[in-house]
C-alpha cells in the first residue's frame, strides 16, 4: 500500500492542549488551530518525503524506514529518530517521550501522537 498522495486535514482532536504540552507559544497555537493543513507524501520504497503546509508554515521531512533520520518537529526542534513500518500501512516512531503513529486506510490517513496521557489525533483525506 503506497502512502503517496496529497491529503487535506478533515478533523483534529486535542490540538490546543497537545501543542501547549510540547511548548508551542500560545499565539502560534491560536493561529494554527483553525487552519486546514495539506500533507503531501511521496513514497519511494522505504524512502519517504513528507511536506505539511499549514497556512504560511511549511514543514518538510525526509526519512528512510529503519534508518536514523533527522526530522523537524511541530515546534521547530530538530531531532534524530528511526521510523519503523508496521504491516504495510502504519508508520511508527518514538521521539522525546512521544509516540507518533501514522496509519493509512484507503484514502484516509490518521495521525496520532501520544505524550503521557495526552493524545492528539488528526484525520486527513486524500484529495
pLDDT digits over 51-94, tens only?
Answer: 999 888 899 999 999 999 999 987 788 999 999 999 999 999 99
| Full DSSP string of 50-95 | EEEEETTEEEEEEEETTSEEEEE-TTS-EEEEE-EEETTTEEEEEE
pLDDT greater than 90 at residue 22: no
- Checking if the pLDDT of 109 tops 80, the result is yes
* Cell numbers representing residue 15 in the block: 490540538
Short-list 64, 65, 69, 62, CA closest to 95: 69
Q: What is the pLDDT of residue 34?
A: 82
Domain residue limits, the chain: 5-126
How much is the pLDDT for 32?
A: 81
pLDDT for res 48: 98
Homologous superfamily of 5-126 in CATH? Calycin beta-barrel core domain (2.40.128.20)
Residues 6 or more apart from 71 whose CB is under 8 A from it? 61, 63, 78, 79, 80, 81, 95
pLDDT at 50: 96
**Residue closest to 127 by CA, chosen among 50, 43, 49, 41:** 41
Question: Which H or E run contains 16?
Answer: helix 15-21
Residue 1 pLDDT greater than 80, yes or no:
no
Residues 6+ apart with CB under 8 A from 59: 51, 52, 53, 72, 74
User: How high does pLDDT run on average in the chain?
Assistant: 93
- Global pTM? 0.90
pLDDT at 111 over 80: yes
The rounded percent of the chain whose pLDDT value lies above 90 is 78
Amino acid at each position: 500500500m503506497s502512502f503517496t498522495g496529497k491529503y487535506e486535514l478533515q478533523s483534529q482532536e486535542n490540538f490546543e492542549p497537545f501543542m501547549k504540552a510540547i511548548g508551542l507559544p500560545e499565539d502560534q497555537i491560536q493561529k494554527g488551530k483553525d487552519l486546514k493543513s495539506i500533507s503531501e507524501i511521496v513514497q519511494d520504497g522505504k524512502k519517504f518525503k513528507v511536506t505539511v503546509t499549514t497556512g504560511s508554515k511549511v514543514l518538510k521531512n525526509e526519512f528512510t524506514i529503519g534508518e536514523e533520520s533527522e526530522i523537524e518537529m511541530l515546534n521547530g526542534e530538530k531531532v534524530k529518530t528511526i521510523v519503523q513500518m508496521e504491516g504495510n500501512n502504519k508508520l511508527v516512531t518514538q521521539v522525546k517521550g512521544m509516540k507518533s503513529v501514522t496509519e493509512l486506510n484507503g484514502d484516509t490517513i490518521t495521525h496520532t501522537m501520544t505524550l503521557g496521557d495526552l493524545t492528539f489525533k488528526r484525520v486527513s483525506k486524500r484529495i
